[in-house]
Every structure is written in C-alpha cells, then in structure tokens.
Amino acid sequence: MLHHVKLIYATKSRKLVGKKIVLAIPGSIAAVECVKLARELIRHGAEVHAVMSESATKIIHPYAMEFATGNPVVTEITGFIEHVELAGEHENKADLILICPATANTISKIACGIDDTPVTTVVTTAFSHIPIMIAPAMHESMYRHPIVRENIEKLKRLGVEFIGPRIEEGKAKVATIDEIVYNVIRKLHPKSLKGKKVLVTAGATREYIDPIRFITNASSGKMGVALAEEADFRGAEVTLIKTKGSVKSFVENQIIVETVEEMLKVIERELSEKKYDVVIMAAAVSDFRPKIVSSEKIKSDRTVTLELVPNPKIIDRIKELQPDVLLVGFKAETSADRVVEEAKKQIERAGVDLVVGNTLEAFGSDENEVILVTRDGVKKLPRMKKSEVAEKIWDEIEKLLF
C-alpha cells in the first residue's frame, strides 16, 4: 500500500477491512466524483481497484484514479487478462464490483451481455459469482426511457443492486458519496442479525407551547441513528422512529415524529402489528409538556408562566406490549454514579435488559463515553466515535439475544 493511501486507510471505520472493491467507471461527467468515492471507501478499510472505459479517461485522467486508489488503473484488457485477475473465479477475486457512475449505455450493455469496454468485460466476468452494484447517472429523460427502465428491472431480477439516483434539475444525478459508501458497507457486512426485527428511536422530541415555539433538548439523534444503521449493516429488518430535526439516516424504513405523544402512538402501533426482537429507546424524550398549548402565537409583550405536566414514560409501555422483546434503554445524567443508580431503577421499573448510560456532554457530539448496565453488572467503555459505540452496544445485545 502506498504511503499516501496508508495515511487515510481505515481512518473512519474498519467496516471494509479485507474487502477488495472494483470501481468500474464508465464515461459519465459524474466520473469526476470517483476520486473522492475511492478515497472514502479506503477510509473505511477497502482495497480499491479502478477500471475505466475509454470514454471515462476523457473525463478524468487515469493518473487521478491511480493516485486515489494507490493501485494501477485498468484502461484496456491486455495479455495480463485484467478482467480475470480482478473478477475471475479464484481466491484473490474482488468482493464487489461497483459500477459508478453508470450511463444508460453501460447499463443496457450489461443487461444484454455485451462486453466491449474494460468496464463491461469485468462485469461480464464477475456476473455469476461476485456481487454487483450500480449507481446510475444520466439525464432524467434517458433514465425514464422504457427500454433503459426495462434493462434496470432485468438486472435487478438477476440480483444486481442499484443505488439511487437523485432526481434533480432534470437529471438523474449519481447518488451521494455517503449513500454509495453506506450501501457498499451494508452489502459486504457480516449478517449476524439476519431475520431479526429491530425498532430504534432517535433524536429529541418537541413539546409545543404555541404553533411555532416548543420545548426540546440538545440531542442530535446521532447515537440512535448510529444504532439503527449498525443493525441495518448486520442484516436486521430495521424500523427507525426519528424526531424531526435529527441527523439524516440511510435506513430505509423511517417514521418521523415530533412529540412524545406521537412517538408513543407510533410505537404502540408498531408493537401491536409486528413482532420485534429488539427495541432500542435511544431518543431523548421530553419528561414534561406544557399543560396548556396556545392555539395562536403568544405575544411577546407580556410575561408568560408555563405550567408543565409529566409526559407518559414510553419505555414503561414496551414490555406491556411485547413481554419477550429485548429492551435497551438510555439514561443521561450529570455524573457517572448517578447514571448507574438511575439505570438500575429503570431495569427494575420497566424490565429493561440493557441500559446505556452517558453524561450530558455527549449530546450533539460525534463521540460518546458510555456505561453499559445490566442486571448482572456494569461495564464502562472508553470514549470513542458514536459509530464505534454502536458496534460495542450491538455486540452486547447479541450476547443477550443469542
């Protein structure tokens, strides 16, 4: 591995360590994003090899991709049979072929088994035994063409996965780099939670004072989203109940709520309609709400006194609705001793199986330092990224689950 690649290797996560990805680049103007995409895949631990069609080399120079990946770039098939080297049936083959950005021309050629560029030849070689993902990019009218749509559906039936595109400004633009990387990780991650149903809440609830003002807290939703996405990577069927204003997530099934009352209604509906294996209550729900909510904006020329009344404790309802579900609660307090004390109360009161405790400084931060509390003991984790905390929490949940 070249020095400049080593500097960024696995700096964001180790999700793709040991994975060899072929980034197959056709001739779309969106190919200019491929340097960033390759580097981002490497930041999660991937080994990336670029394969370019002749058209692609007119948009982005092969030297750029050689720099980005730290590997020689395939621009033609020679006597070294590069397509077999990368995608043949042998132990050193690629783990994934990612065609990005895929033109209408390349998609249709792949669908028809035509291999007249290095990109399509590698795909043809890989088709029967290596996962293939396609991120399209073209004008919207081309994307809507009935034959192009037919070819996309044909490839989906054959097991090819599509990422995006984003329909903007009359174009079917290539998916964002974050979305592509997320989908690649989800595709290649070990599926330890396959067949399990998981419900996660995330973010800060809002309790309205009048139509535009509300009481809330500093939670960003990052921890809850990280937990939902980790479950998604591990193959679970995930439902994410997320509050308005929380950080975005690529989990497919999301339900947006605002108040504690809305969240409780959605959870009650979900738990009555579907059998869940794990429920994680990571949202920072408001303990209180205004007793009276004004139907009109309150004028600012007078003193206002708010009377607050307690909200229902959602976590207390979970085991009533599904006694066998594995329940994970969260506790935020001002000190570590207080966290453990309150966590034990929550375990007794609500039948929680695992409490994740943290101090209030974690709110809104990209990092967290948590204490895991169960009936059997207390485990303190060192400070780390919230995505890494999510991995550790899921490791603990799996021990309790299996």
The pLDDT value given to residue 43: 98
CB 213 within 8 A of CB 206: no
Query: Tell me, what's the pLDDT at 368?
Result: 87
96 beta partners = 21
Bond preceding residue 146 cis, omega within 30 of 0: no
Peptide bond into 101 cis (omega under 30): yes
The two beta strands, 132-136 and 161-162, are parallel
- Region label for 366, one of left (φ > 0), alpha (ψ between -120 and 50) or beta (otherwise): alpha
Average pLDDT of the chain, as a whole number = 95
Provide the pLDDT for residue 335. 79
Q: Are 276 and 209 in contact (CB under 8 A)?
A: no
Three-state DSSP state, 80: coil
Distance CA 36, CA 42 (A): 10
Homologous superfamily of the 197-401 domain (CATH) = CoaB-like (3.40.50.10300)
Q: Which residues, in sequence order, are CB contacts of 349 under 8 Å at separation 6+?
A: 316
pLDDT tier at 363, thresholds 50, 70, 90: low
Q: What share of the chain is helix, strand, coil (3-state, %, to 5)?
A: 35, 25, 40
Nearest to residue 36, comparing CAs of 175, 225, 233, 132?
175
In whole angstroms, give the CA distance from residue 165 to residue 354.
39
Are 135 and 165 in contact, with CB atoms under 8 Å apart? Answer: yes
Residue 345 C-alpha from the chain's centroid: 32
Whether 371 contacts 340, CB under 8 Å: yes
Measure the CA–CA gap between 110 and 329, rounded to whole angstroms: 48
Q: pLDDT confidence of 223, banded at 50, 70, 90?
A: very high
- pLDDT tens by residue, 38-70: 999 999 999 999 999 999 999 999 999 999 999
- The Cα–Cα gap between 213 and 162 comes to 41
Domain ranges of the chain: 3-188, 197-401
- Whether the CB-CB separation of 328 and 305 falls below 8 Å is answered with no
User: Mind listing the pLDDT tens digit for each residue in 142-163?
Assistant: 999 999 999 999 999 999 999 9
Please give the CATH architecture assigned to the domain spanning 3-188. 3-Layer(aba) Sandwich (3.40)
Q: What is the rounded average pLDDT of the residues 295-309?
A: 92
Q: What is the pLDDT of residue 84?
A: 96
Q: What is the pLDDT of residues 97-113, one digit of tens each?
A: 999 999 999 999 999 99
Domain pair 3-188 / 197-401, same fold: yes
For 71, 93, 155, 348, 360, the CA distances from 315, given in Å and listed in that order, are 51, 48, 44, 12, 20
150-164, 277-291, 327-341: segment of lowest average pLDDT = 327-341
In the chain, the percentage of residues whose pLDDT exceeds 90 is 91
Instruction: Say whether pLDDT at 124 is over 90.
Output: yes
